[in-house]
């Protein structure tokens, strides 16, 4: 079969012929039709990820056929028994085990879910990793309510966009930030109520005047988050799922304790988060925002697009049958 293989970090991925995955008890072979990129794939390619094992077929997100059943794959493997936190054996499909940037992948039976009928394979492939991370952050950890004023930072990000769609579909008032004004425009067209350029030094002042925030969903960290804390409303929840911009300096204990803020970490999602998310997407007929679709063999160009932060929506790889 054809696959995109990472043989060495900091080198282009190679589109080549590889062995089919082996059949094994308790696993199914999924014939993939589409896959999606996550920043994780880019970190691994750059060598900036723990315990990298090479060569490997990257890719955590995939949609295709298990037999004649259209399915999507939950890439969060062996979550464990506790619903509040993953166990020690938790790992993500697509390194160390071979992932979805290939014509076929072998996955445990219980990681396979029916694909929502209203979506194409390309749309469905955009859901799994970013979707479940956003669902857990907004719904399970963030406990979003229709009365909440929600801020989602870095709306160009894949998780951020799913977070926006979930928060809007739950009836909340949703504002977003971005470093690119055109992405703010796109977010407003997709239903966001407000947008702020995080390069504008005055943006937090405007946001405070407009009513502050009850729930913040952040994947960037850094000084931006410390500033956002100051414009949070009393009792606000700040859910952190990523640290794209780096560590958070100068976190003020006074702001934290006086406003009685809740800072909550969030990682991917449990099997029940995944099932609840799929059910919600199906029932609400939510359609994902896609950036661009590349053929699998042009996967390296898709990685470059994500590395440069050019995307708005998920970057998809179309996989030949």
Ligand X SMILES: NC(=O)c1ccc[n+]([C@@H]2O[C@H](COP(=O)([O-])OP(=O)(O)OC[C@H]3O[C@@H](n4cnc5c(N)ncnc54)[C@H](OP(=O)(O)O)[C@@H]3O)[C@@H](O)[C@H]2O)c1
Residue 180 makes CB contacts below 8 A (sequence gap 6+) with 156, 197
183 is an interface residue for ligand X by CB under 6 A: yes
313 is an interface residue for ligand X by CB under 6 A: no
Judged by beta carbon, residue 21 or residue 242, the one nearer ligand X is 242
Judged by beta carbon, residue 149 or residue 186, the one nearer ligand X is 186
Q: How far is residue 26's CA from residue 64's CA, in Å, rounded to a whole number?
A: 18
Q: How far is residue 189's CA from residue 184's CA, in Å, rounded to a whole number?
A: 9
159 is an interface residue for ligand X by CB under 6 A: yes
Judged by beta carbon, residue 29 or residue 77, the one nearer ligand X is 77
98 is an interface residue for ligand X by CB under 6 A: no
131 is an interface residue for ligand X by CB under 6 A: no
Query: What residues does 316 pair with on adjacent strands?
Result: 36, 293
Judged by beta carbon, residue 58 or residue 268, the one nearer ligand X is 268
DSSP letter assigned to residue 208: H
C-alpha 35, offset from chain centre: 13
Classify 301 as helix, strand or coil: helix
Binding footprint of ligand X, residue count (CB under 6 A): 33
Angstrom CA distances, 75 to 34, 63, 241, 251, 260, stand at 14, 11, 17, 33, 35
306 is an interface residue for ligand X by CB under 6 A: yes
Q: How far is residue 260's CA from residue 258's CA, in Å, rounded to a whole number?
A: 5
C-alpha 47, offset from chain centre: 20
Q: Binder to ligand X among 157, 194, 195, 212 (CB under 6 A)?
A: 157
Binding mask 194-233 for ligand X (x = CB under 6 A): ----x--------------------xx-x-x---------
Angstrom CA distances, 18 to 21, 55, 89, 98, 187, stand at 9, 11, 28, 11, 40
6 is an interface residue for ligand X by CB under 6 A: no
For tokens 């004004």, what's the residue?
181
CA angle (140, 76, 273) in 5-degree steps: 25
Judged by beta carbon, residue 103 or residue 140, the one nearer ligand X is 140
Query: What residues does 230 pair with on adjacent strands?
Result: none
Q: How far is residue 187's CA from residue 103's CA, in Å, rounded to a whole number?
A: 33
CB of 321 to ligand X, least distance (A): 27
99 is an interface residue for ligand X by CB under 6 A: no
CB of 234 to ligand X, least distance (A): 24
List the interface residues with ligand X, window 234-293 (CB under 6 A). 241-245, 267-268
Q: Binder to ligand X among 4, 35, 38, 116 (CB under 6 A)?
A: 38
Judged by beta carbon, residue 179 or residue 271, the one nearer ligand X is 179
Q: How far is residue 241's CA from residue 166's CA, in Å, rounded to a whole number?
A: 15
- 78-86, 128-136, 254-262, 295-303 -> range binding ligand X (CB under 6 A): 128-136
116 is an interface residue for ligand X by CB under 6 A: no
| Contact positions vs ligand X (CB under 6 A) | 38-40, 129-130, 133, 153-160, 177-180, 183, 198, 219-220, 222, 224, 241-245, 267-268, 306, 309
């Amino acid at each position: 079969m054809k696959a995109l293989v990472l043989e060495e970090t900091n080198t282009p991925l190679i589109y080549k012929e590889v062995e089919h995955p082996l059949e094994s008890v308790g696993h199914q072979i999924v014939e993939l039709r589409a896959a999606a990129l996550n920043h994780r794939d880019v970190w691994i390619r750059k060598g900036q990820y723990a315990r990298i094992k090479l060569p490997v077929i990257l890719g955590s997100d995939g949609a295709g056929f298990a037999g004649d059943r259209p399915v999507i794959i939950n890439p969060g493997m062996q979550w464990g028994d506790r619903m509040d936190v993953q166990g020690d054996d938790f790992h993500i499909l697509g390194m160390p085990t071979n992932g979805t940037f290939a014509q076929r992948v072998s996955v445990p039976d219980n990681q396979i879910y029916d694909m929502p009928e209203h979506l194409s394979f390309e749309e469905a492939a955009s859901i799994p990793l970013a979707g479940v991370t956003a669902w857990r952050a907004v719904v399970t950890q963030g406990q979003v309510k229709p009365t909440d004023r929600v801020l989602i930072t870095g709306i160009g990000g894949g998780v951020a966009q799913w977070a926006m769609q979930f928060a809007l579909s739950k009836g909340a008032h949703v504002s977003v930030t971005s470093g690119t004004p055109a992405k703010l425009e796109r977010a407003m067209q997709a239903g966001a109520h407000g947008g702020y350029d995080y390069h504008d030094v005055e943006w937090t002042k405007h946001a405070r005047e407009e009513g502050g925030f009850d729930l913040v969903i952040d994947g960037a960290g850094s000084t931006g988050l410390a500033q956002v804390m100051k414009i949070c409303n009393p009792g606000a929840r700040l859910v952190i799922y990523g640290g794209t911009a780096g560590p958070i300096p100068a976190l003020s204990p006074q702001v934290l304790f006086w406003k009685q803020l809740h800072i909550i970490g969030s990682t991917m999602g449990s099997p029940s988060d995944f099932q609840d998310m799929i059910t919600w997407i199906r029932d609400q007929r939510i359609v994902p925002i896609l950036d661009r679709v590349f053929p699998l063999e042009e996967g390296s160009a898709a990685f470059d697009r994500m590395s440069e932060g050019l995307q708005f929506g998920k970057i998809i790889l179309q996989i030949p049958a």
